[in-house]
Amino acid sequence: MPIATRRSPLALVQARDVQAKLAVAHNIADADREEAFPILGLVSTGDKIQDRTLQEAGGKGLFTKEIDEAQLDGRAAYAVHSMKDVPTQWPAGLILGATLEREDPRDMLLARGGETRLVDLPKGVIIGTASLRRQAQLLHARPDLTVVPIRGNVATRLSKLESGEVYATFLARAGLNRLGQPEAKADPLEITEMLPAVAQGAVGVAVRDDDAYAQDILKPLNHVDTEMAITAERAFLAALDGSCRTPIAAHVDLETLDFVGEVLTPDGQKKWREQGSLKMSERTLEAMAAAGHQYGMAVRRAAGPALLAVIETA
């Protein structure tokens, strides 16, 4: 029962983690887990495009297209995704079968001068990021800085930092933790300083909607609280017609169910934010989706035509 994934180092680590968890859940010996759940590594369109930003190339689906096709044509039973890269609508025939427990969702600022806070960056330095969200949030907090696009996996971006091509960059702490990178030990940016991408730090496993056997196999891996949180965040994103081409962020605290969501203009000059507490008594997927949608629509109303302009020009 193959597991499809991208071939990037981080994606392969995540796929092997799912493979190991499936083996434990179903009493399969370590020596046999590769045979039971072989990994099918694929190169996504998003991985191939390195000469322009994702928003210029087409958005989130660029990282999932080839993997979706492998599931739909029967080459793979499962597919492992970083949920922040998954469009809000699954392709026809696919569903989310399990959500693993969320890693630390916070961003990390990595700077040649050792700074870990936006406020401490020297005036006018060059910051590299391929994320439109991080660009907008950075410019909102520090309009004096210069942002340039950089693409590539974690190692590539760290090499550009070390070579002096940029003074600083951002990486998700979850990815650094999963890769065992020493940079993960530094202080992350707090949620109040830089709100994470929707579903950042969460890994999901997709399955065909007609494959009841594979769906049952996945059930022991599902972390309900994480599933609840990202359901609300993704509903917020969907209400705003969000993609990689719109600077949107959201986060649900797994313990308190406090919700924060925001959308910005790409230049960071305008920001609209909604926050509140989701009801602990309504811990269902339907309630979480409804709450996220409600907050998203509140942002739409507050922003009015200004937000529509952001979406239409994205």
Residue 246, pLDDT score: 85
Residue 179, pLDDT score: 94
Q: What CATH number is attached to the domain comprising 140?
A: 3.40.190.10
DSSP state of 81: E
> Tens-digit pLDDT profile for the chain (314 aa)?
899 999 999 999 999 999 999 999 999 999 999 999 999 999 876 565 554 555 554 455 567 888 999 999 999 999 999 999 899 999 999 999 999 999 999 999 999 999 999 999 999 999 999 899 999 999 999 999 999 998 778 888 889 998 989 999 999 999 999 999 999 999 999 999 999 999 999 999 999 999 999 999 999 999 999 999 999 999 999 999 765 678 999 999 988 889 999 999 999 999 999 999 987 777 899 999 999 999 999 999 998 887 766 766 65
Q: Which of 47, 68, 85, 241 is catalytic?
A: 85
Q: What contacts 223, CB < 8 A, 6 or more positions away?
A: 99, 100, 101, 102
Q: Is residue 191 part of a domain?
A: no
Q: Are residues 245 and 206 in the same domain?
A: no
By CB neighbour count within 10 A (0-12 exposed, 13-18 middle, 19+ buried), where does 135 fall? Answer: buried
Q: Is residue 190 part of a domain?
A: no
Conformational region of residue 277, where left means phi above 0, alpha means psi within -120 to 50, and beta covers everything else: beta
Question: In which domain, by residue range, is 149 found?
Answer: 107-185
Q: Are residues 148 and 283 in the same domain?
A: no
Q: Are residues 252 and 299 in the same domain?
A: yes
Q: Are residues 94 and 137 in the same domain?
A: no
Q: Is residue 261 part of a domain?
A: yes
By CB neighbour count within 10 A (0-12 exposed, 13-18 middle, 19+ buried), where does 311 fall? Answer: middle
- Name the token pair of 138: 């950075």
Q: Are residues 17 and 84 in the same domain?
A: yes
Q: Are residues 130 and 92 in the same domain?
A: no
Q: Are residues 239 and 124 in the same domain?
A: no
Q: Is residue 197 part of a domain?
A: no
Q: Are residues 237 and 311 in the same domain?
A: yes
Contact at 8 Å (CB) between 175 and 152?
no
- Is 68 among the catalytic positions? no
Q: Are residues 230 and 299 in the same domain?
A: yes
Instruction: State how many domains the chain has.
Output: 3
Quick one: angle between helices 305-313 and 285-303, nearest 10? 100
For the chain, the distance separating the N- and C-terminal CA atoms, rounded to the nearest angstrom, is 39
Write down the residue that tokens 């529509």 correspond to: 308
Q: Is residue 23 part of a domain?
A: yes
Could you please report the per-residue DSSP string of 34-54? HHHS-EEEE--HHHH--SS-H
Q: Is residue 26 part of a domain?
A: yes
Q: What CATH number is attached to the domain comprising 308?
A: 3.30.160.40
Q: Are residues 56 and 11 in the same domain?
A: yes
Q: Is residue 194 part of a domain?
A: no
Distance of alpha carbon 262 from alpha carbon 256, whole angstroms? 19
Q: Are residues 59 and 69 in the same domain?
A: yes
Q: Are residues 49 and 10 in the same domain?
A: yes
Q: Is residue 192 part of a domain?
A: no
Q: What contacts 1, CB < 8 A, 6 or more positions away?
A: 36, 37, 77, 78, 214, 217
